[in-house]
Amino acid sequence: MIVINQKKAERIKADRGSLRFRYIKLCIFFSGLSVFAQLYLFQPMLPMAAEQFGVTVGDTSLLVSSSTIGMASGLLFFAFKADSYSRKKLMVFSLLSSALLTIISTWIPSLALLIAIGILKGFVVSGVSAVALAYLTEEVQLAVVPAAISMYLSGNTIGGMSGRILATIFAGEFGWRNAVLIIGLESLILGLIFWKLFPESKFFTPQKTDYHQKVKQMKNFLSSAYMLRLYFIAALLMGVFVSVYNYLTFRLEAKPFSLNHYVIAFIFLMYIFGVFGTMITGRLSKRFTKNNILKGFIVLMLCGIGLLLSENIYIVIPGLGIFTLSFFAAHTMASQMTALHAKKGKSSATSIYWLFYYFGSSILGSGTGYLLHSFSWNIFIAVLIIAIIAALLLATANTSAENNG
């Protein structure tokens, strides 16, 4: 009887207050912290890298885009293969191998090799994003899944923000290569803690992939006009967002702002507004349709980016806050709409969403750098405004589909 009860207890999903749930929350937070600190760590250091390698801002932006290209490729791969591996082993491999690649980056003398390592790092680190949410829904009681997911998303946001801030400060004090080394070592420590404390899966067993079924699902989503519009909205908005954060450092270092690296570092605290944006969408969903919320935040994003044309820092900072809040809110809503519209094959639908999301980040994120190098900040912002308007038109086209759905 005691043995039966013990076995039954072992099969109960993690609930609030249990030691297993606390370990899951802590480790899933650390995983998000590590992934996003590494993914965008070069972003605030692009001016230093451009100066050292003697290249254009567009060339150095490939240090960021390479990781997101790798991330997109990895997510496509793991859309087919993730269920073939142990959840914990895949996440541990991703965290430790990506940290080691970040550390190795410290001694790479060539920009081309750094970009190649960035692609590889993005690919391996995508293993965490590919299975983290699936693990939480499998291993945690339904009532506390939102709390666990919020902890993971908080780790993503705080990791992206703190990675940029620390990279800027460390680079200013010790040089950009030592900044990369410090963040790599921190990520390695987080990965080792994760390996030690993260609970193994109890409710998942690796299984063979049904490739035919996966391909069929993806074809259906890619032939749906509604879903395609959501995917392109994700690509456009993420591309605009990354473009602004990639090159704003160049803008703030130059006249008329001439800010030092300490001040610029704390510009990335604007990511806090992203957390607010994610939270706001949940409340608004009770009063408005999802597509109207999406359109509203895209319009707000236009207002925010328009303020970045100013040469007054006290206008630029609020503009960046509005822009950041509205992007995260729009992205949250678009990803929810993608998952909700997919009646079957939700994992395939969301995999394609993330694929477009990161490819948009890579293509626009680098392409606009060459644009900025050839023209002016005002032309750069004008092109990004056109991209946001295109996203708004796509969202407007989906209004009738949502109403009929």
Distances (CA, A) of 336 to 224, 256, 341: 17, 41, 8
342 or 111, which is more confident:
111
Mean pLDDT, range 216-229, rounded to an integer: 91
Distances (CA, A) of 380 to 61, 240, 255, 342, 369: 15, 10, 17, 36, 8
Q: What is the pLDDT of residues 212-222, one digit of tens each?
A: 888 888 889 89
Distance CA 180, CA 35 (A): 14
Q: What is the pLDDT of residues 378-395, one digit of tens each?
A: 999 999 999 999 999 999
Tell me what percent of the chain is helix, strand and coil, each rounded to the nearest 5.
85, 0, 15
Q: What is the pTM of this model?
A: 0.81
φ, ψ of residue 14 in degrees (nearest 5): -65, 135
Q: Enumerate domains of the chain plus CATH numbers.
A: 15-199 (1.20.1250.20), 210-400 (1.20.1250.20)
Confidence of residue 226 (pLDDT cuts 50, 70, 90): very high
For residue 147, the tally of other CB atoms under 10 A from its CB is 14
Distance CA 284, CA 232 (A): 23
> Does the pLDDT of residue 375 top 50, yes or no?
yes
Helix (H, G, I), strand (E, B) or coil at 203: coil
For residue 127, the tally of other CB atoms under 10 A from its CB is 27
The DSSP H or E segment spanning 163 is: helix 145-174
What pLDDT shows up at residue 1?
A: 42
Residue 33: CA count within 13 A, CB half-sphere:
19
Structure tokens at 219: 């074809």
